[in-house]
Amino acid sequence: MIEYEGKAKQIIPTAEPDVAIQRFKDSATAFNGQKKAELEGKGEINAAMSAAAFLKLESAGISTHFMGLENARDMRIKRLKIVPLEVVVRNVVAGSLSKRLGLEEGVTLKFPIVETYFKRDDLGDPLVCDSHVFVLGICSEETLAELKTRALQVNSVLGPWFNEAGLTLVDFKLEFGFDESGELLLGDEVSPDTCRIWETESGRRLDKDVFRRDLGDPMVGYREVVDRLGITIGGEHA
Ligand code: C5P
């Protein structure tokens, strides 16, 4: 039984009420679902990469919803009440930051920046400032501050991990939620679907932008990312 069907993942209940299966699909979408494709192998790569990233983060003291891999595309997760914000961290100018502010893609930012977007497909996930978050009643001031702190902590763990593999973590999106005991945990996924990853030396794009911008076979880059990070498909490697 599928409880929730998203664009790239499904949520499947288990016998335990606080535990679910997050299944990574091969489906890819961009531009709020206007562009669609099936990319063979994407689900397994994203599951393996997310598992490895969550283990890496957990070992650095950052709590996540990750409980283990059931098989190559199914992840056991703690159920969360998701805070309806996409928390984006940026190290290098790309994507919507470049468009919105007229900055050149590829320029390294003086310091990592954190942005928040309201998760509302019908509004196209708008960028929201802190006052918007409070006016909308999305979360408390304390939670918002905590989300930003944690997002920067994630950046400081993932950034060096990527750098050592010859990769640059340009930007990424995170989602957080509260578990049944009220603890704030990192949820969702960490994969080339949700991160911009460039090969450091050449600047080659190894992420979903290849699909968004029709730059070739997206799976070539996705595979290169897991290979460089030493991640085995179907395994869990910190
Ligand atoms: O499009 P934009 O430049 O704002 O994206 C910033 C980062 O957030 C990118 O790594 C992109 O892949 C990710 N993102 C995402 N899901 C969205 C919007 C952005 O994973 N709905």
Domain 83-217 has CATH 3.40.50.10160: no
Pairing of strands 127-128, 108-118: antiparallel
Residue 79 half-sphere exposure, CB side, CA atoms within 13 Å? 14
Residue 32: which pLDDT band, with cuts at 50, 70 and 90?
A: confident
Q: Are residues 57 and 154 in contact, defined by beta-carbon separation less than 8 angstroms?
A: yes
Give Cα separations from 133 to 56, 100, 142 (angstroms): 30, 20, 12
Query: What is the model's pLDDT at position 77?
Result: 98
> 4-78 adopts what CATH topology?
Phosphorylase Kinase; domain 1 (3.30.200)
Distance CA 152, CA 8 (A): 25
196 C-beta closer than 6 A to ligand 1: yes
205 C-beta closer than 6 A to ligand 1: no
Task: Give the DSSP H/E element, type plus range, for residue 113.
Answer: strand 108-118
Given a cut of 50, whether residue 100 has pLDDT beyond it is: yes
Residue 143: which pLDDT band, with cuts at 50, 70 and 90?
A: very high
- Per-domain residue ranges of the chain: 4-78, 83-217
Q: What does the pLDDT look like over 169-213, one tens digit per residue?
A: 999 999 999 999 999 999 999 999 999 999 999 999 999 999 999
Closest residue by Cα to atom 19, ligand 1, is 173
Domain 4-78 identical in fold to domain 83-217: no
